[in-house]
Amino acid sequence: MRDDHHITRNAVHRYQVVKVEDKDGENYLDLKGFEGHEPTKVLHIQPHGFVSVPVKDAHLICVHLGHQYDLMVALGGEHSEKKPKKLGEGNSAFYNADGSIMKMIKKDVSLEHEGDYSHKAKNSKTTIKEKHEIEAKTFKIKCGDVTLTMDKNGINVEGGEIKHNGKKIDNAHVHINSGGVGLGGPPQ
């Protein structure tokens, strides 16, 4: 008979989050589990490069190391009402409890949120390499008191001034209609 008394056995159980403490880059959880088992200050272990803070009532798995309940760590975590629904087989999403979501559906990536979007790069500079296309029914850029709007009817600039090669274009420039006849401004 094999002597295996030295082998450490681990127990795995499902728990519900009662309280979350996000402190010094770590998550410590108070949990509710089987038969009234309610451990406190359980360390939430996360994969390298990913950080999340579980919400109250989320469910997760805890591993009791060496089958000892005072040596346990929490893994994963999800809340059935907060996670995205109907993603489809093979698709993924990164989401938070407030409804912001980044979906990877087939070959497309979609970012959906209600708040502000910011992209921070070194020296506050964003560079777009290769080909970049923006498709929208209306595209609007606002900078100070100047607004540039593009839509199916063309381009409209409101406020400020327009320059070409350093020379100001004012209301004396010639407007051309689709037939090529000048509609205003000095003759050329």
Per-residue model confidence as pLDDT tens digits over 1-23:
445 544 556 788 899 999 999 88
pLDDT exceeds 80 at position 81: yes
Per-residue model confidence as pLDDT tens digits over 25-73:
888 999 999 888 899 999 998 888 888 888 899 999 998 887 776 788 8
Question: What's the pLDDT score for residue 3?
Answer: 53
Which of 66, 74, 59 shows the shortest CA–CA distance to 29? 74
Per-residue model confidence as pLDDT tens digits over 99-111:
888 888 888 888 8
For 78, the token pair is 């999800």
Question: What's the pLDDT score for residue 1?
Answer: 43
Question: What's the pLDDT score for residue 15?
Answer: 93
Q: How far apart are CA 48 and CA 23, in angstroms?
A: 18
Helices (H), 32-159: none
Question: What's the pLDDT score for residue 176?
Answer: 62
Q: How far apart are CA 74 and CA 60, in angstroms?
A: 7
Question: Percent of the chain scored above 90 by pLDDT?
Answer: 21
Q: How far apart are CA 120 and CA 11, in angstroms?
A: 43
For 3, the token pair is 């002597």
Question: What's the pLDDT score for residue 179?
Answer: 55
Question: What's the pLDDT score for residue 44?
Answer: 92
